[in-house]
Amino acid sequence: MNMNILNKIVAVFFIVTLLSCSSTLKSQQPSAQSSTHKSPVKDTIPSGPIKDLWVTTYGFGTTKGSSLQNAIQNGFRALLQDGFEGAHFPHPLLGKEGKTIISNNPAYFDRFFNADMHLFVLDRDISYFEYTSATEPSSKIAILVNVEGLKQRLIADKILPNPAKAK
């Protein structure tokens, strides 16, 4: 498939992802409960900082694995640089300059999007996986992201300023 067309398809689905991303808070589970237990979805605005966030996103790739990897990357990109309009997380984690921060730290974010992001996925639910053509898989996945842990890592790695030192 022509790379130009593939880039356009990915861009369209990224925009669709941003428009259709859903986010909810996961209620705290007692440590004795099974990790397969899913908490009921809350549809109320959180009263404090968001610690965990469900993000639903889409992806493409040449294999099932690369399609799911692309979907997870799209979810993290939206979380870091775009936020989710009309949702519980309207502002990007990296702030208004998220895209600039990512482009100014290419080695850091290349490693993050290809490996480290998985450290912050607490749970996942693959909604569907299908082939959009004979050779191109498409997927939709919901991931539970440890937002608080991710934020602390970005502060520790000096990508985000430390709010405690700013005071």
pLDDT 10s digits, 106-152:
999 999 999 999 999 999 999 988 887 777 889 999 999 999 999 99
Domains in the chain, number: 1
Name the average pLDDT for the chain.
Answer: 77
Percentage of the chain modeled with pLDDT above 90: 51
Tokens of 113: 């999007």
Domain of residue 156, residue span: 3-25+50-166
pTM beyond cutoff 0.85? no
Residue 39 within a domain: no
Residue 35 within a domain: no
166 pLDDT above the threshold of 90: no
Query: One-letter amino acid identity for 95?
Result: G
Q: What is the mean pLDDT of residues 89-116?
A: 94
Residues in Cβ contact with 116 at an 8 Å cutoff, skipping those fewer than 6 apart:
153
Residue 106 within a domain: yes
Q: What distance lies between CA 147 and its chain's CA centroid?
A: 9
Triad 106, 109, 113: Cα angle to 5°: 135
Residue 115 within a domain: yes
Tokens of 20: 């259709």
Q: Tell me, what CATH number does 11's domain have?
A: 3.10.28.20
